Amino acid sequence: MGFRSRRSGIACVSVLIGFIWAGQFVVSIPLSAITRGVRRSWPIVDYPMYHAAHSSEEEIPRLAVVGIRDNSEEIDVIPEDIGGGYWYYQVFANAVIRGQKQVIQDIVRMYEARHKFHLVALRVEDRPLLWKNGSAERVQTKVLRGYPLDSVPPNETVP
């Protein structure tokens, strides 16, 4: 009797697993068709872990922030320079694109305090990669926005 109940238990669990798998499969196909146009509005889509797979000849966008010093030297501002990681860096890049003065001022002051020099402007660039033949190739950089910082007073701690 113990052997039969054990077999029927395994069969029940197998049927349950098969039912869950079939349910996921049936739901995922129409859901992927419905969300094709909606997915760009999801808040987590810009995070690299959640990017959709890219097909051949498709550009993969990459935002980059360039800081311009008072001596016209251009410096790439990288996520490690401002702290907070990739997500915070994307917030900063998008704030520059949108011209959100308060966010820009806060991050620029923190950046200047860490690096001990003054920035006079920012530029956001898209440095896309082209997915081609199983590898990513660089394509022409596109300037998305320049933002002058003359309204941001220099940090008092910066010489």
100, two tokens: 């959100």
Give pTM, 2 decimals: 0.56
- Assigned domain for 18 exists: yes
Number of domains observed in the structure of the chain: 2
Per residue in 101-141, pLDDT tens? 888 888 888 888 888 888 898 999 988 888 777 677 888 88
Residue 154 within a domain: no
Shared domain for 132 and 101, answered yes or no, is yes
| Residue 30 within a domain | yes
Q: What is the pLDDT of residues 58-98, one digit of tens each?
A: 777 888 899 888 888 888 888 888 877 788 888 888 998 89
